[in-house]
């Protein structure tokens, strides 16, 4: 009987150990990105803009051309890349500190201009790389090294819901929030990612997918506890779903 | 026959960029350089390129970084407060060895300052400006023709050295109108020739453009490679030397102030004074050796700048131990006349 391979490393993913902590979902999300790039046959056309944070080394794990952007500026760098090479597939991969804090202006304006880009936004409610400080997405009451008694909305505001903001902007063709905490959600996350990539490939506009993700290390949890927190705490405040799926509004 | 056009210095830079094959321009409004984005908003699109009015100077310069990574000839322009915002990305471009042209039409500072001419950004331009150990090539035009010519040179230099190139002008140069002979360099497609550019990993290993070097000794290696590159840039040194041969006193001044000082030198020459003008055109690399040679010949020096004294430090480093340099500074907010420089020059000659 001949053996049939049913599961393998995607061609777009380099088969090597990652530097992520155990239970970190950056690796899972990388794999989904690789699978979708493969399925859409985009690997050879892809230009990745990597950002600052734990995922800066994404370029070591994906077998695609890549450039590193300053903290928060990936959407502007990607705008330049895409304007220079409109025939290539361009995407950014950004954490919540990167996209929702320092880079808020860049993401809002790239989305609003309807740049033909795809954005993979990984929301783990904390600054991972710098050691677990408060992020704009940190949950009320969540303890971090810069809000040691828990985030207090009175002095620190409420967690920012980026997908809801992005979906309002005219240039956006697709915007969704997903999670990879269950097999079912994983399947839906991949569908959303594919759709976000498709709206770029078909020139319809800007595609955005927010992933709710774990950071067991800075949440001070085991990988299993961290995964359970997604369903128990994060999804009720950051609802999953498609917030927009419509072509970019064209000028008259 | 080459076309003669009557344009502002700002427009000369924009025309020069298009002649040099610039296909992407990213800008953000700030006085006194708005003619550049305004011109580009139609001209570069008509030429088949891309114009983006970015959300900020930070956005604009990072778009430049992206287009440069894609191997395209691209430019951004701004003025002083905007240049401060661009410094982070310029440091990243230097660290990642990316070519790009950045124009600063220097206005008065610090802070919001004023919108008049100044040379207060000399240190920022020539000493790195952003974080880390890096340099950018800096070109300082004094006429609209030079603004055109040096912009064309800037693109070639940026690609030759894979390094950001700054054009440092001011409100005088940006706003004055002069006839310019428009010429076109030989067409070259820098983008498709570049072996480092990002274009998609089709039939070749993937490429990576980065400035993060964490492995043991990797950053040291990169910084030493960059140092070696900055040394090689000395081949690009340019300056104007006017009646310096028999001069007792050499006036050192750059950009618009260099041009105004030249008028003062001419007047004083006609009156029999032995004075010359040395005008650095590349501010980095600085024409130190040429100044040192004049110092060895026993000449004395007066540096004139539109600031509290910045380039004078480089002049002194160049001419020591044979000579020193006196300094005369005009403050921003004033548009100096050649007459303003005559007395300080006479004082130096008499002393
Ligand atoms: C201009 C600038 N400010 C601050 C930093 C430090 N820094 C590095 S990573 C990071 C936070 C990243 O957090 P996030 O985007 O949430 O990504 P994660 O590490 O959680 O994946 C910060 C603040 C930097 N590199 N550059
Ligand atoms: S610190 Fe958090 S985000 Fe970073 S690798 Fe570890 S688990 Fe992942």
Task: Read off the CATH number of the domain in which B249 is found.
Answer: 3.40.50.920
In this structure, are B255 and B229 located in the same domain?
Answer: no
The residue of chain B nearest to residue A46, with distances taken between CA atoms, is: B200
Strands (E), A55-203: 65-68, 89-95, 118-123, 172-179
pLDDT classification of B275: cutoffs 50, 70, 90: very high
Q: Residue A121 is encoded by which pair of tokens?
A: 């936004």
CB atoms within 10 A of CB B183: 12
Indicate whether A52 pLDDT > 60: yes
Q: What is the pLDDT of residue B333?
A: 84
**In A, what residues contact B, Cβ < 8 A?**
43-47, 49, 56, 59, 63-70, 73, 76-85, 88-89, 105-106, 108-109, 113
Looking at beta carbons, which residues of chain A come within 8 Å of B68? 80
A66 contacts B198? CB cut-off 8 A:
yes
**What's the rounded mean pLDDT across residues A53-76?**
98
Residues A51, A92: Cα–Cα separation, whole Å: 7
Q: Residue B195 is encoded by which pair of tokens?
A: 């072996």
Residues B227, B332: Cα–Cα separation, whole Å: 34
**Could you give the C-alpha distances from B322 to A33, A236, B244, B289, in angstroms and in order?**
65, 76, 17, 13
CA proximity to A212, closest of A181, A172, A243, A166: A181
Q: What angle do CA B30, B32, B38 make, to 5 degrees?
A: 70
Q: Which of B195, B219, B235 is the last residue before a domain boundary?
A: B235
**What's the rounded mean pLDDT across residues A144-152?**
97
Task: List CB contacts of A51: < 8 A, sequence separation 6 or more.
Answer: A68, A69, A71, A72, A73, A74, A92, A93, A94, A95, A98, A99, A103
Residues A31, A36: Cα–Cα separation, whole Å: 9
The residue of chain A nearest to residue B25, with distances taken between CA atoms, is: A80
Question: What's the gap in Å between A25 CA and the centre of ligand 2?
Answer: 8
CA proximity to B107, closest of B334, B332, B337, B335: B332
In this structure, are B122 and B207 located in the same domain?
Answer: yes
In this structure, are B137 and B268 located in the same domain?
Answer: no
Residue B225, burial from CB neighbour count under 10 angstroms (0-12, 13-18, 19+)? exposed
Task: Give chain B's mean pLDDT.
Answer: 96
Looking at beta carbons, which residues of chain A come within 8 Å of B56? 105
Q: What is the pLDDT of residue B351?
A: 52
Residue B267, burial from CB neighbour count under 10 angstroms (0-12, 13-18, 19+)? middle
CA proximity to A74, closest of A10, A112, A120: A120
Q: What is the pLDDT of residue B1?
A: 60
Alpha carbon nearest to ligand 1 atom 5, residue: A71
Looking at beta carbons, which residues of chain B come within 8 Å of A83? 24, 50, 52, 63, 66-67
Domain of residue B162: give its range. Answer: 3-235
pLDDT classification of A19: cutoffs 50, 70, 90: very high
Element (H, E) at B183: none
3-state DSSP call for residue B94? helix
Which of A56, A63, A106 is nearest residue B201 as measured by Cβ atoms? A63
In this structure, are B172 and B272 located in the same domain?
Answer: no
In this structure, are B61 and B188 located in the same domain?
Answer: yes
In this structure, are B103 and B35 located in the same domain?
Answer: yes
Indicate whether A252 pLDDT > 70: no
Indicate whether B142 pLDDT > 90: yes
pTM of the complete model: 0.97
In this structure, are B121 and B158 located in the same domain?
Answer: yes
CA proximity to A62, closest of B337, B206, B139, B174: B206
Range ranked top by mean pLDDT from A2-16, A112-126, A236-250? A112-126
**What's the rounded mean pLDDT across residues B37-50?**
97
In this structure, are B113 and B191 located in the same domain?
Answer: yes
Domains of chain A, with CATH numbers? Answer: 26-251 (3.40.50.970)
Q: Residue B271 is encoded by which pair of tokens?
A: 């009156």
Q: Residue A225 is encoded by which pair of tokens?
A: 């506890």
**What's the rounded mean pLDDT across residues B285-301?**
98
Q: Which of B235, B266, B300 is the last residue before a domain boundary?
A: B235
Residues A110, A42: Cα–Cα separation, whole Å: 22
Residues B215, A70: Cα–Cα separation, whole Å: 19
Indicate whether A228 pLDDT > 90: yes
Q: Tens digit of pLDDT for each residue in B186-203? A: 877 667 778 999 999 999
Q: Using most ligand atoms within 8 A of CB, pick from A27, A93, A215 the residue to mutate for ligand 2.
A: A215
pLDDT classification of A73: cutoffs 50, 70, 90: very high
In chain B, the number of structural domains is: 2
Return the DSSP state at B8: E
């Amino acid at each position: 009987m001949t053996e049939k391979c049913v599961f393998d490393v995607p061609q777009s993913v380099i088969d090597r150990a990652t530097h992520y902590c155990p239970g970190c979902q950056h690796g899972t999300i990388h794999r989904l990105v690789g699978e979708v790039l493969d399925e859409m046959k985009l690997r050879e056309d892809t230009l990745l803009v990597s950002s600052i944070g734990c995922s800066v080394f994404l370029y070591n794990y994906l077998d695609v051309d890549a450039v590193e952007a300053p903290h928060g500026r990936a959407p502007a760098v990607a705008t330049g890349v895409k304007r220079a090479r409109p025939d290539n597939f361009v995407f950014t991969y950004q954490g919540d500190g990167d996209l929702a804090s320092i880079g808020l202006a860049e993401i809002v304006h790239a989305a609003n201009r309807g740049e033909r880009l795809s954005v993979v936004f990984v929301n783990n409610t904390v600054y991972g790389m710098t050691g677990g400080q408060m992020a704009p997405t940190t949950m009320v009451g969540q303890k971090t090294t810069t809000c040691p008694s828990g985030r207090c909305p009175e002095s620190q505001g409420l967690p920012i819901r980026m997908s809801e903001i992005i979906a309002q902007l005219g240039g956006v063709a697709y915007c969704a929030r997903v999670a990879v905490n269950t097999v079912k959600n994983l399947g839906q996350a991949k569908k959303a990612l594919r759709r976000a990539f498709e709206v770029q490939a078909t020139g319809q506009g800007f595609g955005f997918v927010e992933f709710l993700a774990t950071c067991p290390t800075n949440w001070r949890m085991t990988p299993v506890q961290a995964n359970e927190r997604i369903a128990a705490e994060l999804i009720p405040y950051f609802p999953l779903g498609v917030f927009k799926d419509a072509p970019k509004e064209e000028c008259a | 026959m080459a076309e003669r056009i009557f344009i502002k210095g700002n427009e000369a830079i924009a025309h020069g960029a298009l002649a040099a094959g610039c296909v992407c321009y990213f800008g953000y409004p700030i006085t006194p350089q708005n003619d550049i984005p305004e011109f580009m908003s139609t001209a570069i699109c008509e030429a088949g390129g891309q114009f983006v009015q970015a959300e900020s100077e930070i956005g604009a310069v990072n778009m430049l970084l992206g287009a440069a990574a894609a191997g395209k000839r691209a430019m951004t322009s701004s003025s002083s407060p905007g240049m401060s915002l661009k410094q982070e990305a310029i440091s990243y471009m230097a660290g990642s060895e990316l070519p790009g042209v950045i124009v600063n039409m220097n206005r008065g500072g610090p802070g919001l300052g004023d919108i008049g001419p100044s040379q207060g950004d000399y240190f920022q331009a020539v000493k790195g400006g952003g974080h880390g150990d890096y340099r950018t090539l800096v070109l300082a035009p004094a006429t609209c023709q030079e603004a055109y010519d040096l912009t064309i040179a800037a693109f070639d230099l940026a690609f030759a050295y894979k390094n950001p190139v700054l054009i440092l002008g001011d409100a005088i140069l940006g706003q004055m109108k002069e006839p310019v002979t428009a010429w076109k360099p030989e067409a070259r497609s820098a983008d498709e020739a570049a072996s480092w550019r990002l274009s998609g990993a089709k039939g070749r290993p993937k490429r990576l453009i980065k400035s993060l070097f964490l492995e043991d000794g990797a950053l040291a290696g990169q910084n030493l490679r960059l140092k070696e590159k900055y040394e090689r840039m000395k081949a690009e040194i340019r300056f104007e030397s006017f009646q310096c041969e028999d001069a007792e006193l050499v006036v050192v001044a750059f950009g618009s102030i260099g041009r105004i000082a030249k008028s003062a030198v001419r007047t004083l020459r006609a009156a029999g004074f032995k004075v010359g003008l040395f005008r650095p055109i590349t501010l980095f690399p600085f024409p130190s050796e040429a100044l040192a040679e004049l110092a060895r010949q026993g000449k004395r020096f007066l540096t004139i700048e539109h600031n509290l004294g910045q380039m004078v430090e480089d002049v002194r480093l160049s001419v020591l131990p044979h000579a020193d340099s006196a300094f005369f500074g005009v403050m921003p907010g004033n548009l100096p006349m050649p007459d303003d420089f005559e007395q300080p020059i006479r004082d130096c000659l008499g002393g």
